[in-house]
Structure 1
Amino acid sequence: MSLASCIDNKKIYQNTVIKFENSVHDFKNVQYKDKIETVFVFKNIGVNKLFITKVKVSCGCTIPTWPNYGIKPGESGSIKVVYDSSRIGHFNKTVSVFYNGEKKIENLSIKGFVEFPEDQKNNYD
């Protein structure tokens, strides 16, 4: 690899920037086994095309979907996150977004509290 190509790659990373409107979504109280989801909106505020290479989650109860194409400078995109609310209690999950920028990773999070099923409360009174 030539020095020029290393410099060009570094320039691409330095000039690829992702900016999320919000990095945390608090669902507050949700019902047991409700389908809950949120969307994290982002914008490419850099000068190069933005590619999300992968999205990792902290557990299998969280399912992300993201664009599989390049986001042009100035354009927006979104990452949808669905949480399986079949576990009662507090949750706080991390969604790591890997992209072609110099920082390379942005961390998002979802949190909330899954309430005990109303129809089963009588069994525990």
Structure 2
Amino acid sequence: MSYEITGKLVAKYDIVQRTETFKTREFVIEKSEDIGGRTITNYIKFQCVQDKTSMPDRFSIGETVKVLFNIKGTKWTKDGKENYITNLDAWRMESAKLSDMQSNAPDFVPDATSDDMPADDLPF
């Protein structure tokens, strides 16, 4: 399942080469919401992997972005104890301005009606 969130980009970290064939990169967005008259600010850290690690480069710190992501979780056992980690795996980022323009675009453009069509003056 895919999720999306819009917020202000506040941090971009360096690419980390985890293994010879696997790399990751993290970035953080700030999301503020008014809840019961109080402004609550959350900082959400995302991870992008492999060919997606260059995604944050297109955006400046302070820019409002829309992030599309999946939630991924891993379990492992170390010293007899179970451990868990959850990642927000970002697979797309876009400017919130672009998203707003697309959402305001009409979803349906009606076909031309006969009133809109020019009269047929052809002799045959």
Calculate the TM-score normalised by the size of structure 2: 0.28
Higher radius of gyration, 1 or 2: 2
Q: Which has the higher contact order (CA 8 A, sep 6+)?
A: 1
Calculate the TM-score normalised by the size of structure 1: 0.28
